[in-house]
Amino acid sequence: MAAAVEARDAGAVLAPVAEDFGGPDGLDRDGLARLVRLSFLRNAGIGTTLGPMSVQVDGERARVGFDAGLTGGRGLLPERAQLYAVETGWRFEDGEWMLISAQWTPRL
């Protein structure tokens, strides 16, 4: 998903997101799609850096936590940067892991 963000490919970003996705403040899959597209409109360039991942698998469910650094701007140099603590929930269905939940908290 990080590579898809940097490539500005909204379809690839959303491909592993389950229809019943739930995020902060009632964010659903459609809201996430709008957030992704808005980020692409605001930023000609987006950079992502992911920290080490903590993975816990329990059958067909998994929780993955990590830090994510995001940068963005209109030109060659980033104008904005933020570090987030991210917690995600995943479900294995039809041979693929689907994102069912995500929460992120700014660290800076």
Give per-residue pLDDT as tens, 5-42: 999 999 999 999 999 999 999 999 999 999 999 999 99
pLDDT value of position 5: 96
> In whole angstroms, what is the distance from residue 78 CA to residue 62 CA?
33
What does the chain look like in DSSP terms, one character per residue? Answer: -HHHHHTT-HHHHHTTEEEEEE-GGG--HHHHHHHHHHHHHH-SEEEEEE---EEEEETTEEEEEEEEEEEEESSSS-SEEEEEEEEEEEEEETTEEEEEEEEEEE--
pLDDT value of position 76: 76
pLDDT value of position 31: 98
Give per-residue pLDDT as tens, 44-79: 999 999 999 999 999 999 999 999 999 999 877 889
